[in-house]
Amino acid sequence: MIRFNENYAKLKASYLFADIAKRVTAFTQANPQANVIRLGIGDVTEPLPPACIEALHAGADEMGRRETFKGYGPEQGYAFLREAIALHDFQARGCPIEPDEIFISDGSKCDCGNIQEIFAHDIRLAIPDPVYPVYVDTNVMAGRTGANIDGRYEGITYLDSTAANGYVPAIPSTPADLIYLCFPNNPTGAVATRAQLAAWVAYAKRHKSIILFDAAYEAFIRNPEIPHSIYEIEGARDVAIEFRSFSKTAGFTGTRCAFIVIPKTLAAHDSLGRATPVHSLWMRRHTTKFNGVSYPVQKAAAAIYTDAGRQQTRALTDFYLGNAKLIREAMARLGLPCVGGDNSPYIWVNTGRDSWEFFDLLLHQAQVVCTPGAGFGKCGEGHVRISSFNSRENVVTALDRIAAALK
């Protein structure tokens, strides 16, 4: 008799964004005339930058000629892309990262979800609340937690992010082996200062732990004091893995390309305390389970680092930040406190009401989709996340409708 992985039974019936999609579909089926504006899932709406499109076409043409055709690429990603990333995203900011410490992948969701596989089963986890649900759910699937009791899984140290701490969690008083951090944060949009990140690096060194640093929204940082990479902090090479994505930076949510940085100096230990490079563990996993991102897509990603590509991607993130500013201003007019939106595409609104109720109110009264904060964890209750990923026209219309609905 085939049996299933019973850890799946501990999960909520469906993934947060699938749950929301179901509610929205039910609403649109019942109200076919409704023109629903989606400011829920952080999915980009603006087309790919011209530099990327040109490179994508050129890559496709190369695949159509015998002399330039390519079969399987290097599993770690083409050197031309890894070299551009190491130079522009890291070395230019003083981070000592080499091209062979970078692994190209088809998305940060997969990377953040898969990385836990290479660590032991009985490690201690520290995970922020609210949080991108992938970090928690993949550890539940792997059997690292107990049951979900009153909205929280046994076996996880939750790092509360609340208005009281500016939505940047404090360092826990107990040791953790694997720590998930995300800055600029999804869902709150909060950013961490150099001093705050340095404190996390010191904590990880003290406890021989590893920080998983999700920097998928790095391209939205405008405050020059805020670090773009954890490797801007001295010593982070020895304690941190960083995740980056082209999804929000350059509109690649449908094109798929991301990367993970694993410094060769980062080690994990066996049960006898002997150190092994995490880089070799991930290399073994990656080459066994992944065959690379397509060549034209990697060409398109590399085009982001050309002069034209850099200008065009900056214009894209500026555009969404312009939407975010409008959203923040509209929330202020409504008297709803919010954070995020200045160095991040997300605005975290303190509604002071049940978050699913507020979600339903906006859907039914304004035909606007947001994301209920409770879907990101217990501390998300009372909040909603509004995404700035949409056209200017839709954002302006959505804000007018929200204002009318809340009057």
Q: Which residues sit at the interface with ligand MLT, rule CB under 6 A?
A: 41-43, 109, 132, 186
Work out how close the CB of 269 gets to ligand MLT at its nearest, in angstroms, rounded to a whole number. Answer: 31
Q: Judge contact between 340 and 346, C-beta under 8 A.
A: yes
Distance set, CA 227 to CA 14, 191, 368 (Å): 35, 9, 33
Residue 40 or 292: the one with the smaller Cβ distance to ligand MLT is 40
Closest listed residue to residue 89, CA positions, set 245, 238, 317: 245
144 vs 385, beta carbon nearer ligand MLT: 385
Output 101 or 137, the one with its CB closest to ligand MLT. 137
- Least distance CB 109 / ligand MLT (angstroms): 4
Minimal distance in Å, beta carbon 68 to ligand MLT? 33
Nearest CB to ligand MLT, comparing residues 133 and 309? 133
Looking at the Cβ atoms of 42 and 184, the one nearer to ligand MLT is 42
Instruction: State which residue, 110 or 123, has the beta carbon closest to ligand MLT.
Output: 110
Conformational region of residue 251, where left means phi above 0, alpha means psi within -120 to 50, and beta covers everything else? left
Closest approach, Cβ 135 to ligand MLT, in A, equals 11
153/246 with CB nearer ligand MLT:
246
The residue assigned the tokens 């190369």 is: 62
Smallest gap, in angstroms, from Cβ of residue 387 to ligand MLT?
A: 6
Give the residue at shortest CB distance from ligand MLT: 42
Task: Compute the least distance from the CB of residue 182 to ligand MLT, in Å.
Answer: 10
State in angstroms the smallest separation of the CB of 186 from ligand MLT.
5
CB of 253 to ligand MLT, least distance (A): 7
Q: Write out the chain in H/E/C secondary structure.
A: CCCCCHHHHHCCCCCHHHHHHHHHHHHHHHCCCCCCEECCCCCCCCCCCHHHHHHHHHHHHHHCCCCCCCCCCCCCCCHHHHHHHHHHHHHHHCCCCCHHHEEEECCHHHHHHHHHHHCCCCCCEEEEECCCHHHHHHHHHCCCCCCEECCEECCEEEEECCHHHCCCCCCCCCCCCEEEEECCCCCCCCCCCHHHHHHHHHHHHHHCCEEEEECCCHHHCCCCCCCCCHHHCCCHHHCEEEEEECHHHHCCCCCCCEEEECCCCCEEECCCCCEEEHHHHHHHHHHHHCCCCCHHHHHHHHHHHCHHHHHHHHHHHHHHHHHHHHHHHHHHHCCCCEEECCCCCEEEEECCCCHHHHHHHHHHHHCEECEEHHHHCHHHCCEEEEECCCCHHHHHHHHHHHHHHHC
Strand pairing of 368-369 and 37-38? Answer: parallel
Q: Give the CA diameter of the chain.
A: 65
| Shortest CB 221 distance to ligand MLT, Å | 17
CB of 346 to ligand MLT, least distance (A): 8
CB contact at 8 A, 340 and 354: no
Which one, 110 or 171, has the nearer CB to ligand MLT?
Answer: 110
Nearer to ligand MLT, 116 or 209 (CB): 116
Task: Pick the closer one to ligand MLT by CB: 41 or 308.
Answer: 41
